[in-house]
Amino acid sequence: MDSETITVTVFRFEPTSDEEPHYQSYKVPFETGMSALNALDYIYQNLDGTVAYHDHAGCGLGICARCTVLINGRRGFLCQEIITGDILLEPVSKKTVIRDLVTRIGPRDTP
């Protein structure tokens, strides 16, 4: 099972230079118990250094919620979503994209 690869398709959009968003697919080696974030880390480190996802200050425990994206169309945390096959990753809002999966967060509720 672990020698298989999966296809990870990522929404790509860089508002200052791209006219339209597009989707890009990557082949990622599959490991049992990997998260969507593990898959993106693999892409970033080995395949494409330009892919953007919230990573500069993530907690990895599901408490900061900043890595929320649409995973196969459903909201989820990149860091806690255990994946079992091909996935599609899109930003939570396509209107507030800073870059790829990173979106501008509106004023937040005071915790």
Partner 1 sequence: MEAKVIETDVLVVGGGGAGFRAAIAARENNIRVLLLSKGPLARCGATPMAGADYTLDGSSLHRLGFRGDPKDNREKFFNDIVTQGYFLNNQKLVDQYVRNAPDRLRELLEWGLKVDCSEERAIDTSGINLMNVLLRRMRKAGAQVLEDTMLLDLLVQDGQVVGALGLDINTGEFIHFNCKAVIMATGGWHKAFWPNTGMRDLSGEGIAMAHRAGAEIGNMEFITFCCNVLLSPPVWRGSIAIYIMDLICGGELTNREGEVFLRKYDPYTVETGTKTEWNKSFVSFASRKEVIEGRGSPLGGVYYGTGKVSWEDFERSAMMMFPNWKYKLMDLSELCKMLRSRGKVEVGPAVEYFDGGIVVNEQFETSVRGLYAAGECILGPFGSNRICSAITEILVQGTDAGRNAAEYAAKAKTPFPDAAAFAPLREVADFPLLGKDGVRPAPLRRHIQEMAHEYLGPIRNQQGLSSFITVLDDAAATKLSSLTVSSPVRSYNKEWIDALELRNTVHLLRAAAKSALCRTESRGVHFREDHPYTDNDHWVRESVVRLVDGNLCVTSRPITVTTMTPPKGLLPFLDMMKMMMESRSDVGGAH
C-alpha span between 24 and 2 (Å, rounded): 23
* Residue that is written with structure tokens 């791209």 in the block: 18
- For residues 16 and 72, what is the distance between their CA atoms, to the nearest angstrom? 26
Which residues of this protein are in contact with partner 1, per CB under 8 A? 14, 16-17, 31-35, 38, 44-46, 48-53, 55-66, 77, 79-80, 82, 98-100, 102, 104-105, 108, 110-111
What is the C-alpha to C-alpha distance for residues 64 and 7, in angstroms, rounded to an integer?
Answer: 27
> How far apart are CB 30 and partner 1 at their closest, in Å?
10
- Least distance CB 67 / partner 1 (angstroms): 10
Q: How far is the CB of 73 from partner 1 (least distance, A)?
A: 21
Please count the other Cβ atoms lying within 10 Å of the Cβ belonging to residue 79: 23
Would you say 7 or 46 has its CB closer to partner 1? 46
